[in-house]
Amino acid sequence: MSLFPTEMESERLRYERLHPDEFDAYELYEYVHAGAPGIDEITKYVTWDPHQHPKEASDWVEHCGEQFEDGAAATYALRPTEGDRADELAGFAGIHPDWDRRLAVFGAWLRKPFWGRGYSGERAARMLELAFDRLDLEVVTVAHDPANEKSRRAIEKYVERFGGQKEGRIRNDIIIDDEPRDSIRYSISRSEWERNRD
């Protein structure tokens, strides 16, 4: 039995584990290579750069598969289950547990055509259920670059919905374009989530 589920669903999204047994790395490369539509806006505030060649995408899929098998982390490809872009790759969601601290860090990004549809909050709700119900963790954290207004609005909306809180600014927490940057961090505890999950 795997620690993480290989597939999940929420109201409008399907979650498929990013693993070389199931995921075509070239599909990833098509959307995240240098020059892909919208890639500069997507990567402006994240800690990874556009992939320069298909092998780079393949290596990342392999790495995510190894993390999944080891119980270190799970990364899921997100695909809408309805609408004009059903089954298209919308983006990715990750959960990175720190088992000793009973805490998980969330990460996610969406392709530009899928911005503004409420998928970030829907994904967060499903991943909180995974973190607290299945993995028995106690706290989930998420952070964004201070200049990333779209992420700030999306994160604050679901953190407020589930009773979480803004932790504050973490100095020199992330590296973007080889430069240290601050991040703004939020957390949701299991008890806060349980009080606000419905």
In this prediction the pTM is 0.95
Residue-range domains of the chain with CATH:
7-195 (3.40.630.30)
- pLDDT value of position 96: 98
Buried-state track 169-178, b at ≥16 Cβ within 10 A, e below 16: eeeeebebee
Residues 150-171 have pLDDT tens digits of 999 999 999 999 999 999 999 9
Going by C-alpha positions, the residue among 86, 97, 90, 76 that lies closest to residue 139 is: 97
